[in-house]
Amino acid sequence: MSDDLIIAQVSDMHIGASDVFFKGINVRQQFLKILKVLAKKRLDLLILSGDLAALEGEPEAYTWLKQVLETFPYPYILMAGNHDHVGRMQMIFDLPENDISQGMLYFSRKFSGKRLIFLDSASYRIPKRQLEWLSNELAMCEEPVLLFVHHPPLLCECQFMDERHPLQNIEEVWQTLDQFPQVEHIFCGHYHAEKTVMKNEKSIYITPSTVFQIDMDSPQFVIEHTKPGWRMIEWADNYMQTYVEYL
């Protein structure tokens, strides 16, 4: 029997309240095309890593998303980004109450015997309360863990995002992360870019958006291209491999 866990991560879908066009792209239709590709793969789980809604947690976006995910053949997990509204997500998707604390959506799950932890950086911080919770979770679990958080927990040499929209308490977050060698792989979004960065023996994988990607070398907001991307993660007992695909 196969012991591997195959995950697809989509990020920064920015679904609008209606059929919004961005640079000639119908954002909703494009997301449907991606789901169609993913539905044909062998998957165990789809992770939607935040900024599901276009700007401010539009309820129409969540209602639409819920409806389209109902026909997706694999289980999925929702995370919050800075353009999301956890209260509306909870109501529309009927999220478990236990996964939400003080308006933040953070939780831990086991799939095929493997531990995944999801944090909420929607406030541009991973607040102390969540870091304490994370420490407790990790203290109970010595096996490798995959960690998912919308904001990369470091600056990544992506000029515009590093200067304008980075996580605000990077140093504090590493005071916790550095205590736990079982976290070797951290999966993020938010930056609208494909990149892998190493810090203190951990790999941070930034997953591109399903809408557009930002030019990493420009201090201004410049779109590099509008090819929609997502990440595949294959995790077995003796290896983890991950790569990005584009439509």
**Residue 3 pairs with which residues in a beta bridge?**
none
Q: Determine whether 204 is exposed, middle or buried from the number of CB atoms within 10 Å of its CB (0-12, 13-18, 19+).
A: buried
Q: Which is nearer to Fe ion, 81 or 166 (CB)?
A: 81
Stretch that binds Fe ion, among 15-23, 29-37, 45-53, 113-121 (CB under 5 A): 45-53
Cβ proximity to Fe ion: between 81 and 228 the closer is: 81
Decide if residue 81 touches Fe ion (CB under 5 A): yes
Pick between residue 63 and residue 82 the one whose CB is nearest to Fe ion: 82
**Biggest CA-to-CA distance, the chain:** 50
Shortest separation between residue 140's beta carbon and Fe ion, angstroms: 30
Q: Tell me how long the chain is.
A: 247
Task: Please tell me whether residue 118 adopts helix, strand or coil conformation.
Answer: strand
User: According to the binding rule CB under 5 A, does residue 120 interact with Fe ion?
Assistant: no
CA angle 156, 160, 161 (to 5 degrees): 55
- Binding segment for Fe ion among 49-57, 58-66, 109-117, 220-228 (CB under 5 A)? 49-57
The distance of closest approach from Cβ of residue 193 to Fe ion in the complex, given in angstroms and rounded to an integer, is 12
Q: How far apart are CA 226 and CA 130, in angstroms?
A: 34
Amino acid at 225: H
x-or-dash string of contact with Fe ion, 10-39, rule CB under 5 A = ------------------------------
User: Is there binding between residue 51 and Fe ion (CB under 5 A)?
Assistant: yes
- Of 112, 105, 131, 148, nearest to 242 by C-alpha is 148
In whole angstroms, the minimum distance from the beta carbon of 104 to Fe ion comes to: 15
**By CB under 5 A, which span of 25-33, 48-56, 104-112, 131-139 interacts with Fe ion?**
48-56
Residue from 63, 82, 159, 203 binding Fe ion (CB under 5 A): 82
Nearer to Fe ion, 185 or 190 (CB): 190
Segment near Fe ion (CB under 5 A), from 33-41, 116-124, 183-191, 216-224? 183-191
Binders in 187-206 for Fe ion, by CB under 5 A: 190
Q: How far is the CB of 66 from Fe ion (least distance, A)?
A: 20
Residue corresponding to tokens 């077995």: 236
Give dist(CA 180, CA 131) in Å, integer.
12
Query: Measured between alpha carbons, how far is residue 89 from residues 72, 110, 232 in Å?
Result: 18, 22, 25
- Helix 27-39 to helix 59-69 angle, to the nearest 10 degrees? 20
Q: Residue numbers of the site for Fe ion (CB under 5 A)?
A: 51, 81-82, 190
